Structure 1
């Protein structure tokens, strides 16, 4: 007479199915725990840093004056088109039209930065706010943004 083996454990398929269900539930829970304002804050910060880098590069490749301004929920990059030394026309860089309006919940402190031919500008801090959170974007005189 043969003894049947005692199979009281889980199969690999059952174990993988449980892991997949737990992973799906945890993704849903994590999305609800992290407020949307933190995503908007990071997105606005990234757009601001990208605009600074674009303005800096534009100033280094063109002879015209370049200015980046922030106000409310807008970022604008202007260049001098009539050679009077005053940036007056918004630009389009890499398919992005300026002025750029951020998401509704994100706001910026007001500031203006003039870039020279070497990409240098004035050092300052731009505060990005979304909901009750904020983050500082530091701009150095050499044009380094962090």
Structure 2
């Protein structure tokens, strides 16, 4: 008597479980890929936030390490906000700031070397989807807020 084909040990094809697992994996990958192709999804705003925080801290460090400022009262190290972010990101800041400088103590100052941000300054970066903020305290602490 011959064995039925189902139990013969000679299988051709995939099981239903294998097919369902493959369909689920393909579905997850397509959702992730579609989300990446639809737009930046707020990526520009947060990337610009990190970039601007890094640039501000770098300028601040340079100002604190330059001893000539203390000796001759030279102009502070300064930076315009628009130079450090992508072109599709809009910038707005408290008190109408368009840039900030730092004195030898690392405190934020204007072009005349007068201390600013006494009540903390906030810079908002908007890429059309999300708004990422940067705060600068009077003592010079710069952080994403």
Structure 1 residue 10: deviation in Å? Answer: 3.7
Give the structure with higher Rg (CA). 2
Q: Deviations over 1:40-92 (max 9, x none)?
A: 1112111111111111111122224312332xxx23xxxxxxxxxxxxxxxxx
Unaligned residue ranges in structure 1 (runs of 5+): 76-99
Q: Distance in 2 between matches of 1:19 and 1:143?
A: 51
Q: Residues 16 and 132 (structure 1 numbering): CA distance in 2 closer, same or farther, change over 3 Å? A: closer
Which of residues 123, 127, 130 is equivalent to 1:130? 127
Question: TM-score under structure 1 normalisation?
Answer: 0.61
RMSD: 3.0
**Equivalent residue of 1:118, what SS?**
coil
1:139 and 2:136 matched: yes
Which of residues 2, 26, 30 is equivalent to 2:31? 26
Moved over 3 A (4+): 1-12, 14-20
Q: Distance in 2 between matches of 1:129 and 1:9?
A: 50
Q: Distance in 2 between matches of 1:138 and 1:116?
A: 17
Q: Distance in 2 between matches of 1:132 and 1:19?
A: 30
Q: Distance in 2 between matches of 1:66 and 1:37?
A: 34
Which of residues 53, 58, 67 is equivalent to 1:54? 58
* Count of aligned pairs between the two proteins: 116
Higher helix share: 2
